Amino acid sequence: MDQQYKCGYCKFLINTHCEDYTSHECFMELNFDVALHDIMSDENGVLHLVDKASNTILQKLNKEATTASWEELLIKFVQDRPALYNIKIPVTERSHLKKNNLWAEIHNLLEGKHSLEAIKAKWRYLRDCYMKARKKMGQYKPSGSAAGTKFDSGFRYYASMQFLNDSLEMPETVCSVPIMTPNLFSPTPSTSTSEQGDTEASQASISFVEVPETPSAKKRRVDEKKEFQKGVLDILTAPPKASDGVDGFLMRLGESLRRFPYRERSRLEIDIMKLVFDRESELDL
């Protein structure tokens, strides 16, 4: 009887006479390379990929683990770039152009495995899930014996995304509308006619008194208005940044990169970023 082999990853029986087991799906997903890997069989005919250099069996990640790992990386990369989520930092630091550059950095760090649109959509989804979980945790008020138990938010990345809390908490604002408080009132009932046999609803009037705004609140409101106006003026009057030789080089580089297909361009971008990173490490920048 011909030797039967079984894949050590998916447990699929592989018949060497009917199928080329070197092109089996699991081995292809692990980027099988005859120069780097061996396909080894144990005494039971179970096949695994072995790294020639370390003589260790390669482990295959399941799809769920792969998805989780790239979501965790995305959260970490966004956290390192506050301009993508923190509305409290200056507007000049989170302009549309700068945000696009930051998303491009994340795209390169993820090695081009996902498109920019997919990365942004995934972040919006994760942020929405966190907001719902945060609201759920805020509404939970344990009492009695349940006070000592830990409540589960139901969102796996709830703890790792709590860096968003600072940007979600809005500063206290002062309202300039005078506060109106009702006076105590007494209802004035109306008499009803005996012929109709029904009663009319009691009518009451409410009077209001105006509570004047305190001097400290008024001063704080004026100071905030002046600070806001000064910030807008600084942005509008700031001189444009003078371009230098680096800007010219980047423009020429961008024109060249746009000539390449998407996948090839992504590889070149990664190679360039690696060269820059290695050089920065050498110079300890």
Report strand pairing: 4-7 vs 46-51: parallel
Do both 39 and 77 map to the same domain? no
Do both 41 and 128 map to the same domain? no
- DSSP assignment letter at 90: -
Number of domains comprising the chain: 2
- Give residue 219's region: left, alpha or beta (phi > 0; psi -120 to 50): alpha
Q: Is residue 117 part of a domain?
A: yes
Q: Is residue 203 part of a domain?
A: no
Residue among 110, 34, 18 at smallest CA distance from 69: 110
Q: Is residue 48 part of a domain?
A: yes
3-state SS record for 198-210: CCCCCECCCCEEE
Task: Provide the CB-side half-sphere exposure for 192 (13 A, CA).
Answer: 10
Q: Is residue 74 part of a domain?
A: yes
Report strand pairing: 13-15 vs 46-51: unpaired
Do both 90 and 75 map to the same domain? yes
Do both 159 and 75 map to the same domain? yes
Domain end among 33, 57, 81: 57
- Kindly report, residue by residue over 2-31, the tens digit of the pLDDT: 667 788 877 776 764 445 667 777 777 777
Residue 185 has pLDDT above 80, yes or no: no
Q: Is residue 249 part of a domain?
A: no
Do both 51 and 76 map to the same domain? no
Residue 210 has pLDDT above 80, yes or no: no
DSSP H stretches of helix in 80-189: 96-109, 116-139, 165-168
**Helix/strand/coil for 32:** coil
Do both 75 and 163 map to the same domain? yes
Do both 164 and 103 map to the same domain? yes
**Helix/strand/coil for 236:** helix
Do both 15 and 93 map to the same domain? no
Average pLDDT over residues 21-49: 80
Q: Is residue 26 part of a domain?
A: yes
Do both 48 and 25 map to the same domain? yes
Do both 35 and 132 map to the same domain? no
Distance CA 160, CA 68 (A): 13
Do both 49 and 96 map to the same domain? no
Q: Which two tokens stand for residue 218?
A: 């008024």
Give the phi and the psi of residue 48 in degrees, each rounded to 5.
-140, 155
Domain end among 39, 57, 75: 57
- Kindly report, residue by residue over 105-156, the tens digit of the pLDDT: 999 888 778 889 999 999 999 999 899 888 888 776 665 555 555 666 678 8
Cα angle, residue 93 at apex, residues 227 and 272 outer, rounded to 5°? 170
Burial of 6: CB neighbours in 10 Å, binned 0-12, 13-18, 19+: middle
Q: Is residue 67 part of a domain?
A: yes
pLDDT band, residue 103 (cuts 50/70/90)? very high
Residue 22: which domain range? Answer: 4-57
Give the phi and the psi of residue 230 in degrees, each rounded to 5.
-65, -40
Q: Is residue 216 part of a domain?
A: no
Do both 164 and 69 map to the same domain? yes
- Kindly report, residue by residue over 219-264, the tens digit of the pLDDT: 777 788 888 888 878 777 777 766 677 777 888 888 888 888 888 8
